[in-house]
Structure 1
Amino acid sequence: MILSSASHLFSCFCIKGEGGIGTAFVYHKNGLTLFVTAQHVLGHAVAGGFIYVKKPSGWAKFELNGVTSHPAGQDAATFGLVDFDITISHKFSYPGESPLALGQEIKFIGFPHGLENTASSPSGFSTPLVRTAFFSGVIIDPSTGKKLLILDGLNNPGYSGGPVWAPGPTQDEPTLLGLISGYRIEDRGKSLVYELSEAGERPTDNLFVKLNSGIIHAIDYADLMVLLDLSEDFNTTK
């Protein structure tokens, strides 16, 4: 079983960028902190622009001091904020320390549709919701040629950019498996809208529904490390 500790919850933030509402989490590098999220949440944001971080009382506006996109175009990015000096410490282990089996239970954390837990973090920011999924495997996306983790579960808009945790050496030290990117919609042929006629049910010609297939796309840990090795956009204080 994986139980997220308070420090893991408080290191996740609800953000609003050009691409809408998503999730970002804090990563420590060289003793400093930066944020990791999905690229599509940030859109075309650059240093000098702004991003919003959610508090129970509303959105707080922060200036970006830099954004680093994944060099191979994966849906992952890092960013730093100006005048963000909250101390956040949490531990996580690495994939090599704990074998992961197909069908293994995992957890992912975030803010579906911008929803948040009732209690704010000690620093006054909104805290995320936790969801369970199962590790299905790794594929090469035929549409992009990029590697994706495939999780079996139900994802919603707003989780994008949130961390994926697998079991670690201790309950308080889960393994960082990857980052939520999105979900696959059902094939159009399985999503047609039907109408009643004298002959019975028949599919409409131009209507279909983009159903959530229950297949979650995530960026894996190795791709995150490629990005983080390049990232120098740390949170700073004025």
Structure 2
Amino acid sequence: MQSTYRIACEDRSGTCFTIDVDGRQYIVTAKHVVGRTEGKIDLRVHYCQDLQELSCRIVGVTNDDVDIAVLATSMLLSPPLELTPTTSDLLLSQDVYFLGFPYGWHAEVGPLNREFPLPLVKKACVSMLDLRTGGPRLMLLDGHNNPGFSGGPVVFAPINTLGATRVAGVVSGYRYDWQNVYKGEEETEFRYKYNTGVIVAYSIEYAIELIRANPIGAVVSEQNAS
């Protein structure tokens, strides 16, 4: 929770989180929240009960429909945390959790979280897991997502394995469908869009590949930094 942040970029808002890879720290979010593919970008990060500007460089974004962006700053946004970025040991039908700031909702806890707000935590089940090389490496989760969770982490604890919590994916959004509106038994001309409860998230391995192709994150450990 201490590495998950509420962000805004132009007229878009969502969630991001930090991971440490090879001794450097990076910001991971959804590509559609960032809205750009290269260069510098000014995020607004919720801090001290307001959105504060944070200058970032775009490390890389995924191609095609895969919805992941990786950013870097010149400073550490989070303290070093044992949050391993991997899909290893993630199982079909396993419970996972996803974190974020739907509709901007959050909990202000002051110095308990270094003046950053805490996110909402929701639970889901891994309904489909497709991590084959060559196709979109994604997971479909059975849960109830809301606008604002985009870019948030999907985390899990390995079953029957001791170790730290792992982050397996990045929330992209949810599948919606259109339904007709009825008045009694009579179908009207109106339709409404409803949340199907299917969450789309992409594998964290995409972020790791972007990072290793352009390792410019803030240094966490001089000994391990590449």
Same fold, TM exceeding 0.5?
A: yes
What amino acid is aligned across from residue 175 of structure 2 in structure 1? Answer: R
Distance 1:69 1:54 in 2: 23
Alignment-mate amino acid for residue 5 of structure 2: F
| Mapping for residues 65-144 of structure 1, pairs under 5 Å | 65-82=57-74, 84-93=75-84, 94-96=86-88, 98=89, 100-120=90-110, 121-138=112-129
Q: 1:18 & 1:180 partners in 2: Cα distance?
A: 20
Aligned match for 1:193, one of 181, 195, 202: 181
Amino acid at match of 1:154: H
Measured against aligned partners, the alpha-carbon deviations of 1:140-187 in whole angstroms (never above 9, x if no partner) come to 9xxxx734210000001111111111223447x12221111100002x
* 1:229 maps onto 2:217 in alignment: no
Determine whether 1:35 maps to 2:19.
no
Q: Could you tell me the TM-score, scaled by structure 1's length?
A: 0.79
Following superposition, which runs of at least 4 residues in structure 1 exceed 6 angstroms of deviation?
none
1:209 aligned residue? 192
Give a deviation string over 1:70-121, Cα, whole Å, max 9, x none.
1455100101235x4445111134333x3x3322111111111111123145
Give the Cα–Cα distance (whole angstroms) in 1 for the partners of residues 63 and 214 of structure 2: 11
- Which one of 148, 168, 193 corresponds to residue 177 of structure 1? 168
Name which of 141, 148, 153 aligns with 1:158: 148
Work out the CA distance in 2 between the residues paired with 1:116 and 1:208. 32
Identical aligned pairs, as a percentage? 29
* Residue 115 to residue 233, structure 1, CA distance change in 2 (3 Å): farther
Q: Which runs of 5+ in 1 are unaligned?
A: 1-8
Structure 2 gaps, min length 5: 220-226
Structure exhibiting the larger radius of gyration computed from Cα positions: 1
1:204 to 1:176, Cα distance in 2 relative to 1, 3 A: same
* Equivalent position SS for 2:40: coil
TM-score calculated relative to the size of structure 2: 0.83
RMSD: 2.4
- Structure 1 residues 32 and 76: alpha-carbon distance in aligned structure 2, compared to 1, 3 A threshold: same
Contact 1:165 1:177 in 2 (8 A): yes
* Corresponding position of 1:3: none
What does the per-residue CA deviation read over 1:21-51, in whole Å, with 9 as the maximum and x for residues that have no partner? 1111111123221100000000126433311
Q: Does the CA contact (< 8 Å) of 2:108 and 2:116 recur in 1?
A: no
3-state SS in 2 of match to 1:95: coil
Change (3 A) 1:203 1:148: farther
Tell which deviates more after alignment, 146-155 or 161-170.
Answer: 161-170
Q: Check 1:107–1:146 CA distance in 2 against 1; reply closer, same or farther (3 A cut).
A: same
